[in-house]
Structure 1
């Protein structure tokens, strides 16, 4: 049914449903895109002096992300990421995550994005994979459930091991030193790969890669299924 036909009909629940079935993808890109990309405005607002707007974004998104600064990207500063030692020096000498997450940056270090690195990878990849899926929508079939589970398994394992590691204290756990990885690889890889959360480190790479895989799995399963469902109605 064309949009013109819908416009000529009285507004009913059925007509609204038909309109949504036609425009669901554009609605998703707009609404979800706003949700995903608003956190990038927080450091911009702080940088230009709109502190209230920036802090409001940090506050709202703190309910959906841990926002630990040592696992976040910074904009308008000297570096894109900072180590736990650097954060503690600039903020407070603590490993309490509830205190650490309150650090949003400063004029020298820049301001953190209101998403952590994993959330950036996960949430933005869903939007980007959705955009990539659109021109191929008639060719791509829904991902089998076992394939979906395989793509979600890495982020589940990475997230669970990070959580268990953090029980020892931020910066004190087995995922902070990654001694197990040193033993597994016979210490044959660059030292910067093993410890910490810096860009290019094992922890940073796994959070980014597993987020991408999970985003791919969600789009590959959900979007072709929705396309088939709306196409039948």
Structure 2
């Protein structure tokens, strides 16, 4: 978004493209910088901001597209739209993904504190399923299954705050589960390597 703001559209679009395999990059589920709002949720969220549809209705790339549906043309246009001077420019990853990675980063910093690292054990799997997978699964699938081709209940578009919270919890729980196991694995690898070096007479 900063490159777009500076007018460096070429390099900016390269970065968007690099990240595109890892995220849907829908503009209505992404954070924006340098614009009128930090987020542009869809009208059916009921959030007290100007909805996404009101902004993109004036944009040429969305002409002839049903802005209140969720068909392929709408999804592709929303994925390809990176922003403009009025709305600002979207971050390369969606709100939930950003929250996941920030939570993992913060948890990793905390885990690297010796006092914490010595006392933390891997999160129990049952707790990971309940707290890590449960909220993000309920939030994500309740939304997914409300859209075509499923349409199991009235269309639901989750609020940005729920994306941030469920992503953050998932990221933190994933770090809590994974980091202690990674450290144990590295300890075993180090012991094996030291043993082999001693046998070879390289290490005293």
**TM-score over 0.5 (shorter chain):** yes
Q: Which has the higher helix share?
A: 1
1:61 to 13, 19, 22: 19
Q: How many residues align?
A: 164
Quick check: 1:88 aligned with 2:56? Answer: yes
Kept after mapping to 2: 8 A contact 1:129/1:216: yes
Offset, 1:115: 0.8
Find the counterpart in structure 1 of residue 78 from structure 2: 100
Find the counterpart in structure 2 of residue 114 from structure 1: 92
2:36 to 70, 75, 78: 78
Kept after mapping to 2: 8 A contact 1:70/1:87: no
Find the counterpart in structure 1 of residue 160 from structure 2: 204
Secondary structure of 1:113's match?
strand
Take 2:35 and 2:139, find their aligned partners in 1: how far apart are those partners?
Answer: 29
1:27-46 alignment runs, 5 A limit? 43-46=1-4
Find the counterpart in structure 2 of residue 124 from structure 1: 102
Once the two structures are superposed, what CA deviation does each residue of 1:153-178 show, in whole Å capped at 9, x if it has no partner?
Answer: 11112111221123279xx95213xx
For residues 148 and 126 of structure 1, do their structure 2 counterparts lie closer, same or farther at Cα, with a shift above 3 Å needed?
same
Take 1:229 and 1:66, find their aligned partners in 2: how far apart are those partners?
Answer: 33
Runs of 4+ in 1 over 4 A off after TM superposition: none
Take 1:221 and 1:79, find their aligned partners in 2: how far apart are those partners?
Answer: 35
Once the two structures are superposed, what CA deviation does each residue of 1:114-150 show, in whole Å capped at 9, x if it has no partner?
Answer: 1111111112211121112210111111111111111
Take 2:144 and 2:55, find their aligned partners in 1: how far apart are those partners?
Answer: 20
Offset, 1:46: 0.5
Name the TM-score, length of structure 1 as normaliser: 0.65
2:148 to 167, 171, 175: 167
Kept after mapping to 2: 8 A contact 1:74/1:113: yes
Name the TM-score, length of structure 2 as normaliser: 0.74
Take 2:119 and 2:133, find their aligned partners in 1: how far apart are those partners?
Answer: 23
Give the unaligned 5+ runs of structure 2.
41-50, 68-73, 192-204
Find the counterpart in structure 1 of residue 123 from structure 2: 143
Give the RMSD, CA atoms, in angstroms.
2.0
Offset, 1:86: 2.8
1:207-222 alignment runs, 5 A limit? 207-222=163-178
Find the counterpart in structure 2 of residue 152 from structure 1: 133
Give the unaligned 5+ runs of structure 1.
1-42, 177-201
Kept after mapping to 2: 8 A contact 1:167/1:173: no
Kept after mapping to 2: 8 A contact 1:72/1:81: yes
Kept after mapping to 2: 8 A contact 1:175/1:203: no
